[in-house]
Amino acid sequence: MNHKQLLEAHNEYLNKIDTKTTDYDDWHKRRYHGLGGSDIGTVLGLNKYKSVYQLWLEKTCRAEPTKMNNKMYFGHVLESTIADEFAKATGYKVRVSNKHYKAKYEPWLIGNIDRLITISDKEKAILECKNCSNNSSFNDGYIYREGSFYHGAKCTRDSVPLTYYCQCQHYMYITGIHKCFLACLIDGSDFRIYEIVYNLNDVQQIVSKATYFWFNNVIADAEPSKILTDFDNTTDRVQSQCLDNNNEIIAKNLIAEYIGVSAEIKKMEKHQEEIKTNLLKLVNTDVKEVCDNQSNVLFTITSQCRHNFDKEKFKKEHADLYPQYIKESYTKPSISIKGM
């Protein structure tokens, strides 16, 4: 379908949905009008708490939206506290935004942001607040320690849980505000702030997958049989599998062995680098090879000049051309050990 046909199909669906949800307040009804920020991770197969099938049941009015549990409740309660701490740390003005946003060209992509930030008279930003756990899922951001913030590594897709990253990209797209901060209170005491950089390539993937789900599953009323995709370019993967008791024991033993081997490898690699450093201290680094008294080469010293393509600069200066040069590729399945 072309864009006009998509809009017509979307509007027709909204008219049907409104007749089915008359008992809901406006906020609940709007959740049926499209895919919000909290839905994006599910659509992409990143949400371990909800399957794409469950989301389909909710969007087609076959099931009630997930009821608020303790985790969701305290996340909502602490949202204002997290926002206040962000404002205190950064000096930015932060306020509640009651506006219901939707994308200009894809009105089925919707959302309500946690807070709107005023950086200057001409510059705004989005604030997403998270009360969460497991700091192993996070890399350094602006880390709060003893009344001060220490700037860590630049935020990338791997700096925060991918579902948070995609949610922020979604909000930046639908609002047109291409600056977003993610404030996270981790395990009740580790407070971090991340600046999420707008990424056109990632946004295009999000829009594409979300649009596919909305029209091919929700509006078409076709049950999704499996997760559409993982965001890291693996496809057609079911969400999870539970092992039987025997295989669980085998898996845990293998994981323990893997962790032990990894620790030894890191130790040996560190020792290896220390040896190289000590060798370099013995000679002038502007020589190419080092010999013994019989002119036998003991080791060589090389330096490399690399010419790297500046992808980010190209995307910024040629945003209209960049999508034409994107080539999707898929890797074979790999394992990421989570521990026990």
Span 203-251, pLDDT tens digits:
998 999 999 999 999 999 898 865 444 454 433 344 456 677 777 788 8
The pLDDT, as a whole number, for residue 323 is 64
> Within this chain, do residues 252 and 153 fall inside the same structural domain, yes or no?
no
> Within this chain, do residues 268 and 205 fall inside the same structural domain, yes or no?
no
Task: Give the percent of the chain with pLDDT over 90.
Answer: 30
pLDDT tens digits along 297-312: 888 888 777 777 787 7
Residue 326 lies in a domain: no
> Within this chain, do residues 154 and 250 fall inside the same structural domain, yes or no?
no
> Within this chain, do residues 44 and 157 fall inside the same structural domain, yes or no?
yes
Residue 237 lies in a domain: no
Residue 123 lies in a domain: yes
Q: How many domains does the chain have?
A: 2
> Within this chain, do residues 29 and 137 fall inside the same structural domain, yes or no?
yes
Highest mean pLDDT (candidates 14-23, 39-48, 313-322, 328-337):
39-48
What's the pLDDT band for 322 if we cut at 50, 70, 90?
low
Domain end position, chosen among 303, 318, 334: 303
Q: Per-residue pLDDT averaged across 178-184, rounded?
A: 93
Q: Per-residue pLDDT averaged across 279-284, rounded?
A: 84
Which of residues 325 and 15 earns the better pLDDT score? Answer: 15
Residue 66 lies in a domain: yes
Q: Per-residue pLDDT averaged across 66-71, rounded?
A: 72
Domain end position, chosen among 219, 237, 272: 219
Residue 239 lies in a domain: no
> Within this chain, do residues 169 and 270 fall inside the same structural domain, yes or no?
no
Residue 336 lies in a domain: no
The pLDDT, as a whole number, for residue 22 is 45
Q: Give residue 90's domain range.
A: 3-219
- CATH assignment of the domain containing 40: 3.90.320.10
Residue 272 has pLDDT above 80, yes or no: yes
Residue 332 has pLDDT above 60, yes or no: no
Of 166, 322, 324, 172, nearest to 231 by C-alpha is 166
Residue 99 lies in a domain: yes
> Within this chain, do residues 147 and 293 fall inside the same structural domain, yes or no?
no
> Within this chain, do residues 213 and 68 fall inside the same structural domain, yes or no?
yes
Residue 254 lies in a domain: yes
Residue 28 has pLDDT above 70, yes or no: no
> Within this chain, do residues 90 and 132 fall inside the same structural domain, yes or no?
yes
> Within this chain, do residues 36 and 130 fall inside the same structural domain, yes or no?
yes
Q: What's this model's pTM, rounded to 2 decimal places? A: 0.62
Highest mean pLDDT (candidates 28-37, 40-49, 124-133, 140-149):
124-133
The pLDDT, as a whole number, for residue 247 is 77
> Within this chain, do residues 143 and 261 fall inside the same structural domain, yes or no?
no
> Within this chain, do residues 160 and 208 fall inside the same structural domain, yes or no?
yes
